């Protein structure tokens, strides 16, 4: 735990050092242009002090959002310079917009824009200088390279310490553990060691964000892969997971970590002073959470951030794993990140068109067992549909037959479900003829398989409906739901029109006056 805090504090100190250095650069650039402007400093500086403080706040905020200060993550000068250029161009356009929105054009363009471009030039020069001359680069000689080549030691299933190979294996294990502790801390090392023997050459330890580094690995070589780098910085998360899947055998273990939406909010609110932290969080949410979900802004977001520091929910993180052929064995929060252990159980789904928008289609069972796309307003996080078996197994069902403690719901999903607004798009299915106005609820195949054989057979004879019998009988358990649907279907077989007419009016009364809800 102590090592984890030291690593975290080291990263925070490094980030604040770059922020303070940047403040000095911007301030010096401002003073330089205030000095060269054809006016006395005694007039310019007092008039520009307050606007400069606002400008400096915007500068730091945009720079943090675009991860300009995460220079420790860059592998070369290019990766450090690109965020600088993107951040400064963004600041340039933000400042132009603000100047013309407030209608104040009395400030000197030389000072405002000169400060931006001079600061950017200095930052680019320092980034290049840092990676070219200051950052230590270790180039081992030929003997050292030979000594560092991975060694593959034959290991029996029953461990016997007297064997020479086993002694080497023990030494290798301790070396790898030391690497993990130095990189991420002892708690992470303990978590990884619970599932894989880190000294075994069949278990790979990496710290990477690129799919290429996984693709170039030899096939059928590793039984487990543990990645120390969090998935928030992956440009294409599912492609990375699919590559890991392709390199592991069935039953192979994959360990990684993510900073979830809730953890990110907690970190931001604790990291910055009051009021400032709320303002920063608001901009962070809009840019990092909202932009990637909007088609027009999505490309700009990935261009500006290079896919780094993405905001992910717990449901999206785990859902992506399941969509890529894994099942989750354990989740654990360690030092501000969610660490997970997953096991390969099948090939990926290769979902080429995942839905992020507010309106989406769900695959449900229709008449005759045909799969239909049921329209709904999104109430769950992306990829949450892949988690249904997992959350049922983990949390069970509530009295109403719904999933208890369903963390897949987003913050507006509960509101939409409470007032039945998420069901309105199903009118599209009614018009298309996939559904009718009153009928049993369209079910996913997982839920359908929970029903009795008798009810399954009856369900497949008729179209599902927008208004289910649930709102008439208000059942409180899965057994009561099945009994309610069976009663409705028996009545519908005898007199379809009369049954649907009565059920619709009873459901309408319960929804409007008794506030019946399906959540």
Residues 208 and 323 in one domain: yes
All residues at 6 or more sequence positions from 426 whose CB lies less than 8 Å from its CB, including other chains? 374, 375, 376, 435, 466
For the record, the structure tokens of 107 come out as 């400030």
Instruction: Say if residue 478 is in the same domain as residue 412.
Output: yes
In a domain, 483, yes or no: yes
Domain assignment present for 519 = no
> Is there a domain that residue 69 lies in?
yes
Decide if 39 is inside a domain.
yes
Tokens of 379: 């109430």
336 and 410 belong to one structural domain: no
Q: How far, in Å, CA of 208 to CA of 467, rounded?
A: 49
Do 193 and 322 reside in the same domain of the chain? yes
Rounded CA separation 23/122 (Å): 12
Q: What is the pLDDT of residues 458-488, one digit of tens each?
A: 999 999 999 899 888 888 888 888 999 999 9
Do residues 342 and 363 make contact, with C-beta atoms less than 8 angstroms apart? Answer: no
Domain count, the chain: 4
Domain that holds residue 204: 175-260+312-344
Domain check: are 288 and 369 in the same one?
no
144 pLDDT more than 50: no
Angle, to 10 degrees, between the axis of helix 41-65 and the axis of helix 109-129?
50
As a whole number of angstroms, the distance between CA 429 and CA 16 comes to: 54
For 362, the token pair is: 């769900």
Q: Give tens-digit pLDDT for 54-105.
A: 788 888 888 887 777 776 666 666 667 777 888 878 888 777 777 767 655 5
- The string of DSSP codes covering 269-334 is HHHS-TTHHHHHHHHHIIIIIIGGGSHHHHHHHHHHHTT-S--B-HHHHHHHHHHTTEEEEEEEEE
> For 326-335, how does the pLDDT look when each residue is reduced to its tens digit (9 = 90+)?
999 999 999 8
Residue 429: closest CA among 375, 356, 501: 375
User: 191 with 289, same domain?
Assistant: no
Mark whether 323 and 393 lie in a shared domain: no
The Cα–Cα gap between 184 and 335 comes to 10
Give the pLDDT confidence score for residue 174 in this predicted structure. Answer: 81
What share of the chain has pLDDT > 90, as a percent?
Answer: 26
pLDDT at 129 over 80: no
pTM assigned to the model: 0.63
- Whether the per-residue pLDDT at 132 is higher than 50: the answer is yes
How does pLDDT run across 416-455, given as a tens digit for each residue? 777 677 788 888 999 999 999 999 999 988 888 889 999 9
Element (H, E) at 225: strand 224-227
**In a shared domain, residues 300 and 379:** no
Q: Residue 424: CB partners within 8 Å, gap ≥ 6?
A: 377
Same domain? For 43 and 108 the reply is: yes
Rg (CA), the chain: 29
In this structure, what are the phi and psi dihedrals at residue 70, rounded to the nearest 5 degrees? -85, 50
Asked if the structure places residue 6 within a domain, the reply is yes
432 and 442 together in one domain: yes
Contact between 112 and 98 (Cβ < 8 Å): no
pLDDT band at 139, cuts 50/70/90? very low
Burial, 208: exposed, middle or buried (Cβ in 10 Å; 0-12, 13-18, 19+)?
Answer: middle
For residue 42, tell me if it sits in a domain: yes
143 is a domain residue: no
Distance CA 258, CA 264 (A): 10
Alpha helices, DSSP H only, in 223-285? 237-247, 261-271, 276-284
What single string gives the DSSP state of each residue in 308-321? -S--B-HHHHHHHH
Q: Residue 349 to residues 60, 325, 474: CA-CA distances in angstroms?
A: 41, 7, 36
**Residue located via tokens 């009856």:** 458
- Reported as a pLDDT band with limits 50, 70 and 90, residue 153 is very low
Note whether 409 and 481 are same-domain residues: yes
Tokens of 331: 């989740």
């Amino acid at each position: 735990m102590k090592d984890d805090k030291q690593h975290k504090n080291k990263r925070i100190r490094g980030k604040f050092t770059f922020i303070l250095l940047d403040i000095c650069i911007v301030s010096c650039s401002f003073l330089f242009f205030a000095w060269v402007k054809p006016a006395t400093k005694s007039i310019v500086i007092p008039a520009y002090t307050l606007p400069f403080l606002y400008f400096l706040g915007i500068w730091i905020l945009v720079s943090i959002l675009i991860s300009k200060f995460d220079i420790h993550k860059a592998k070369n000068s290019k990766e450090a310079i690109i965020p600088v250029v993107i951040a400064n161009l963004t600041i340039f356009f933000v400042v132009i917009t603000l100047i013309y929105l407030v209608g104040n054009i009395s400030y000197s363009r030389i000072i405002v824009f000169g400060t931006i471009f001079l600061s950017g030039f200095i930052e680019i020069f320092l980034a290049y200088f840092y990676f070219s001359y200051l950052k230590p680069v270790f180039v081992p000689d030929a003997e050292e390279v030979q000594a560092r080549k991975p060694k593959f030691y034959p290991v029996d299933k029953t461990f016997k310490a007297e064997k020479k190979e086993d002694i080497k294996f023990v030494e290798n294990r301790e070396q790898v553990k030391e690497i993990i502790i130095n990189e991420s801390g002892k708690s992470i090392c303990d978590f990884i060691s619970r599932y894989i023997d880190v000294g075994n050459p069949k278990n790979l330890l990496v710290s990477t964000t690129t799919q290429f580094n996984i693709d170039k690995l030899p096939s059928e070589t590793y039984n487990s892969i543990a990645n120390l780098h969090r998935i928030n910085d992956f440009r294409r998360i599912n492609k990375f997971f699919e590559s890991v899947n392709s390199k592991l055998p069935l039953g192979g273990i994959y360990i990684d970590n993510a900073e979830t939406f809730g953890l990110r909010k907690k970190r931001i609110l604790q990291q910055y002073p009051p009021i400032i932290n709320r303002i920063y969080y608001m901009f962070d949410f809009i840019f990092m959470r909202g932009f990637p979900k909007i088609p027009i802004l999505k490309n700009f977001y990935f261009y500006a951030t290079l896919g780094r520091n993405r905001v992910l929910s717990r449901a999206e993180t785990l859902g992506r794993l399941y969509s890529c052929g894994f099942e989750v064995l354990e989740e654990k929060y360690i030092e501000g990140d969610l660490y997970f252990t997953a096991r390969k159980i099948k090939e990926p789904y290769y979902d080429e068109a995942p839905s992020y928008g507010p309106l989406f289609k769900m695959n449900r069972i229709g008449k005759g067992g045909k799969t239909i796309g049921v329209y709904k307003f999104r109430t769950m996080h992306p990829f949450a549909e892949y988690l249904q078996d997992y959350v049922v197994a983990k949390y069970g069902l509530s009295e109403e037959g719904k999933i208890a403690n369903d963390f897949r719901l987003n913050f507006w999903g509960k509101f939409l479900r409470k007032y039945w607004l998420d069901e309105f798009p199903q009118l599209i299915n009614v018009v298309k003829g996939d559904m009718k106005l009153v009928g049993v609820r369209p079910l996913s195949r997982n839920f359908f398989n929970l029903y009795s054989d008798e009810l399954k057979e009856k369900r497949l004879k008729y179209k599902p409906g927008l208004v289910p019998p649930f709102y008439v009988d208000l059942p409180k358990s899965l057994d009561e739901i099945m009994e309610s649907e069976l009663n409705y279907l028996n009545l519908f077989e005898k007199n379809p029109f009369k049954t649907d007419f009565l059920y619709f009016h009873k459901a309408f009364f319960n929804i409007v006056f008794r506030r019946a809800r399906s959540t």
